[in-house]
Structure 1
Amino acid sequence: MSIPVEQANLFGQIGRVRVSLRRLAVWISLALICLAAFSALTLMQGIDRQLRDVTETYAVRNAARELTQELSQAEASQRGFLLTQDREFLEPYRSAVSSIDQRVAALLEMTADDVDQAGRVRSITGDISGKMAEMARTVALVEAERPEEAQSLTATGMGARLMAEVSQTLEDFIAEEDQKLEARNRAIDQTRIGLVGALISALFAAAILAYALLSRAQRQVSDLAKRQRGLVGLNEALEAQVAERTRDIEDARAHAERERQRVETLLQDANHRIGNSLATVSSLLALQMLRVRSDEVRVALEAARLRVHAIASAHRRLRLGGDLESASADEFLQAVLDDIIATQTNQRRIAITGEIDAIQVSARDATTLGILLGELVTNALKHAFPDNRQGRITVKLARDDAGVVTLSVADDGVGLSDGQAVSEDGLGSVIVRQLSGQFGGQPVYTQSSEGGVAVSIALPKLGEPPVLQGER
């Protein structure tokens, strides 16, 4: 059942909206993660600054507390020495006085960056200096054995007031530092809460992003699985088609092979039928020879019979190659020679040998070449060995240095007398000349090195495709 177009469009819009929402969620998650990371970095830097401030506040507070203790120690030692005139109180007194100067210098250095704190410390140093001067005057009077004056100086209450003011100022300073410390601790707590919130936001955004990426990865894996199943299905379909086409090709090839074999059989059968028919004609000529009394007629019939037999042999011996259009010259011409040898009445008197190269020629040229070879060998058998003379005929077919196919037939017969030439009016010469002309060559007759006649014919057109009608 098909889905309506409107419903399909609605599904498509919903799918696009979902994709857009997923992309928006991913971008928002990335923004939240970046923002949380930046916030966490900023808060961590703030916490570092607050921790440094807290540490410095503790140091200032402790320095003020230690300064108060040193002042109390110096005052207590001074009073003890005043009341008892025991010099053992001088050592802790002088140690406290020396430490007070160092404490004041350290406190001034710690508060140098804060103008308010530095002002308060400088205001305290004046009171401390006055108190230290008062205590030093008292100790000096006691050491000079003037205790009454020292006690009179103490009785004025100035030292006590100075000590009370210094102690109160230091206590106020310490209380203020305590308030700052509490405020900074609260700020650290707030910063810590903000940092925890930023980390939670980052984790939440990372969870959303991971979910979105996981969902996308699952969809991609699902899509890949579907595509893989689709590809597997297509592959199986293609393999089935390829198998079917392969079977069709194999069937077609087998059919073509059967047709080729059938055509080859028909051609071979046709050639055999032509050869057998020509052999029948040759036999009829032989029978006619037996009834003829004239030697001239008998010679003519014998020549005709041999030529018909050569043509019949060429057709019977023709064996085409796999293309049904060509034949190998060495197999075909050697078979023709064997057939000529078999027709001789006395095969031992004249030996016929062939040196034929494996040259591929067309079926039309093969038949003509076989007839030409038969005519040359027949002429040699007829004229070269009179009076039952023994001898040899050598047939060669090869390419010369220029690549032109050359046919030569040489005998060691009686040869030509001095000044004698081959008659060009004879039927055999005419046939050889016409057949040679079909391959673009002319017969050349020379005296053989063995004493007979050698016929050499260059065949430059052998193997060329036939010229069709209308071509130039």
Structure 2
Amino acid sequence: MTDATSDLGLATAVRKQSGRLLAIVISLALIVGAAGSALFLVRGVDSQLSDVVKTFEVRRQARELILALVDAETGQRGYLLTLDPQYLGPYRDAVATIDRAYQDLVTMVADTPAQKLLLGLIADQVKQKQVEMANTIALASSGRLPEAMEILRSDTGQTLMEGLRAAIRRFILEEDGRLVERNAEVERTRQLLVVAILAALAGAVTLTYALFTRTQHQVSELARNRTTLLLQKEELEEHVRERTAEAEEARAHAERERARVETLLQDTNHRIGNSLATVSSLLGLQQSRTTSPAVRSALEAAQSRVQAIASAHRRLRLGDDLETTDAAEFLESVVDDLRQTQPSERQISVETDFDPLVISARDATTLGIVMGELLTNAMKHAFPDDRPGRIWARLKQEGESVRLIVEDDGCGLPPEIDRAEGGLGSMIIRQLARQFGGEPSFAARPGGGATVTVALPALGRQALRE
């Protein structure tokens, strides 16, 4: 009877030992499998993020294609209206840009059949538009201007451009859909990653439990006394308290890191502004050392623009979301900086009227540069011979319409000013305005002086979404 009882106890112990070993093996397998899955999913996320970046580049090239078409049409119309060969230069440059942008799009969507099909349709429409523009220019060049103007006044060109815009919008919307799908894939991958981490945690918990019960059994086998078990319990509780304290410390550290990052973001723009101000000072120093009037003028213009960009960065104050800012407060600060940089002998007052507008930090910097260029041009050209005057700067929002307006009561616009070309400042203003989907317009101000209006439709739509 005693031998039978001993055998039964031994068999029970063997079964418990085997069960614990099996639990340990399964737990280790879960941990290793979850770790491998996590690494695989992380690599998948990297690939998906690369696809997202590619999608944004495709969208940019599509927009560059439509802008080039608009520029080509502008050059065509300018030539037909004036017969000035200077308009043919921008027209040919725009045609070359159209071809390059289209080829870039073909390369980027080579592995996307649906987008390749859309590009084929766009290619036919682009070719028709190019043929229409080339025919009208050829007719005008050969002395058949009335025929060219008849084509221009017909709805053919406008219909082609509207069709092109619609086709490119469909192309961009298709890319937007692909972007949404890729974001959904990233989200699904993230969820799978969370599941893998939870599986690893479950395996770790199971492994910890198995090891703990095994250790407890061994201790009970060796010690067989209540005092030792109590000591082990106290040690375990102390360990839990230490882990809890460590977790609290880690949470506090994470909060401090978040606050530090917020401060760093605010400080980065200020540092960039200070660095650009240093560059401006170096340009000023070089200007004072040169004797060439042309070089001094170029250095003075460069210093002014660097100072304007430095002011835009230094004056940028982000909101609580660390992504947006108040356009009125920001532009007021930029104008104040320009007032302070004005020589004391210049009696030029600048009055402002800015509507409150919440915009992104990136758009704010661009808007500040446009404002700096407009005010600098007015101060430099509107009041020759240090004459006194006034400048009015306004930012007005009416529904989806946002306009930046700068007026002066100076000497006005010269009659020979070239609206299409202009100087470097005009080119900068025009290029930056196109980022918001607008173009600057120049006009004489009633009572004397000049008015420059920059429409910013994209900024208006963004403000309404905010």
TM range (shorter): 0.3 to 0.5
**TM-score, scaled relative to structure 2:** 0.43
- Rg: which structure is higher? 1
**TM-score, scaled relative to structure 1:** 0.43
